[in-house]
Amino acid sequence: MLATVRNPKMWKTLTGRRIFVFSRKLHSLKTIEIPNLYLDEMIWRNLDKWSNKTATVCAETNRSYTYQELYNKSNSIASFLHKFGMVKDDTVAIMLPNIPEYPIVFLGAVQAGVQVTPLNPSFTPGEISRQLLQTNCKLVFCTNEKYTTVLKTLHSAKLYVPIVTINTQNRTLPSSDSIDFDDIAQSSTSNFQQDFQRDVNDTIAILLAEQVDTLKDLGPEQDVMPIIMPMYHISGLTVIMLQGLLKGCKLVTFPKLTSALLVNLLHNFHTTVLCIAPPIAQMLLNNSYIKRSHFKKIKTIICGGAPLGKAQLSALCEKVGIDVIISQVYGMTEASPLTHIQTMRIKAGVKPGGVGLLLPSTEAKIILPESGKEVGSNEVGEIVLRGPQIMKGYYKNEMANQEVFMSGRWLKTGDLGFYDNDGHFFITGRRKELIKVKGYQVAPAELEDLIRDHPDVEDVAIVGVPHDTLGEAPKAFVVRKHGSNVSPRLIEEYVKENVVKYKQLSGGVSFIDSIPRSGAGKILRNQLKELLRNK
């Protein structure tokens, strides 16, 4: 396809995807039509095709539900919520690990027309009570194992919120209540540019747009998708769970991923679609037991959370073979969560180190953070986005909304990057993650990509630390590969050989057992800084 470019100085030819540039804004010319259906109607409209097929199964216990059972039990949850007195605009919290019952509770709440705020089961009591207060939660779903924790938290915070364990789902069918198309379907938590958590509103329309944007027809056979990302995170919820249900996939759940379980998912469950983050990609590469033959059923691997490094992508392609399509996606919770994709499905669709092309109906531009001035291709600035998948706003936080939204509903991502002449986007760092060394800006991602290519390094994270003469200095937290005795000096020398002086590791190198990451695979730099403060 040919690009339509309004700026005569920027005519470009793109194959497989149409992009046009107008006033330095990039648009995907491919658009989508959002069906005038509610989310639960979208999920169940093809129920007759796969009603007796397995919808969810636990990899540890083999506990499973067919699509018909999922439908019936979701109706029971909706009926229970109505009988309990829940009305439109009320909020329920779901504090469940990745278990087969998660979709039942979530879809039941959606059908009942109430809002959902997912809770991380690993949250501290303070984090639980804060989120319940912020969302004015009226009811909490949790497992029996977490009942006591939630109960004590509620008592300590003087919150009088009923708790429902997942074995209380056997209810009658609900009455059909009117649900407005723009009602809030989900309230996800985001660490966007803040140390504390904010709540993000995603409308039913946005969730539908997200599924239509990224759903691909993978073939007539039922696909098998492990839910590796936590379902309390937007990636696990929309990219895997909701897309999988829309496609009629068998979704494999498990509370915690291990190397042995990863082998089991590939070999015994015959996984066909694998949605991962870079740490899981590294787990695949490091496991010597996993051979190319384990990927014979795999059709596609989708990686998100952070870009795969050039060496990591090359090694993954070599391990899985040429028949597996590897795609990388970029986005954030505020974008429900995807805005870009790079994929082998289209010619020249992959550029190592990049995050890809805009998804359908999505617009982007690059601005200078200080002035807000728009810049063109190959110029670094803050990426701002607009599209149907962008959130309505932070829940009851107008000040935060004013910070991130520009005129015209453009969302400031906080990510620094650029797009090239072909419309491919590249992330160079985060505004708040940039390290200022004697006035120079150092992007942690650049150093992390470099150090991760060292033969003795399994994982790495870079943070800025105070320095008497430099102002700030880059410091590396490094996870050594098994059996390696590489020293901090050797890591520092390696970096010194590859970057200019101000990017060198003047803050030193520390070895740790693992890099703290979010459920989506993003580095939790604040935890590393807290580790330094505690020392």
pLDDT in tens, 137-165: 999 999 988 999 999 999 999 999 999 98
In a domain, 495, yes or no: yes
348 pLDDT higher than 80: no
Contact between residue 171 and residue 77 where contact means Cβ atoms under 8 Å apart = yes
- Domain tally, the chain: 1
Residue-number span of the structural domain to which 442 is assigned: 433-534
Q: 484 is written with which tokens?
A: 């390696």
What phi and psi, each to the nearest 5 degrees, are found at residue 60? Answer: -90, -40
Residue at 514 is within a domain: yes
Using alpha carbons, select from 100, 76, 70, 72 the residue that is nearest to residue 169: 76
Higher pLDDT, 208 or 505: 505
- 445 in a domain, yes or no? yes
Q: Is residue 511 part of a domain?
A: yes
Please write the tens of the pLDDT for every residue from 106-125.
999 999 999 999 998 988 88
What would the mean pLDDT of 277-281 be, rounded to a whole number?
87
Asked if pLDDT for residue 456 goes beyond 90, the answer is yes
Do the domain assignments include residue 8?
no
What are the tokens at 428?
């160079």
Average per-residue pLDDT for the chain: 84
The more confidently predicted of residues 167 and 313 is: 313
* Of 468 and 220, the one with more pLDDT: 468
Strand, helix or coil at 479?
strand
Q: Exposure string (b/e) for 401-426, b if CB count within 10 Å is 16 or more? A: beebbeeeebbbbbbbbbbeebbbbb
Identify whether 472 is part of a domain.
yes
Q: Which CATH number goes with the domain that contains 456?
A: 3.30.300.30
Domain contains 72: no
Predicted pLDDT of residue 264: 93
Confidence of residue 185 (pLDDT cuts 50, 70, 90): low
Cα atoms found within 13 Å of the Cα of residue 107, Cβ hemisphere only: 26
309 in any annotated domain: no
Question: What is the predicted pLDDT for the residue at 509?
Answer: 98
Concatenating the DSSP letter of every residue in 392-447 gives: SEETT-HHHHHHHEETTTEEEEEEEEEE-TTS-EEEEEETTT-EEETTEEE-HHHH
Contacts 24+ apart (CB under 8 A), 330-333: 330/304, 330/355, 330/356, 330/425, 330/427, 331/304, 332/190, 332/192, 332/413, 332/415, 333/188, 333/189, 333/190, 333/192, 333/200, 333/233, 333/234, 333/391
pTM of the predicted structure, to 2 decimals: 0.78
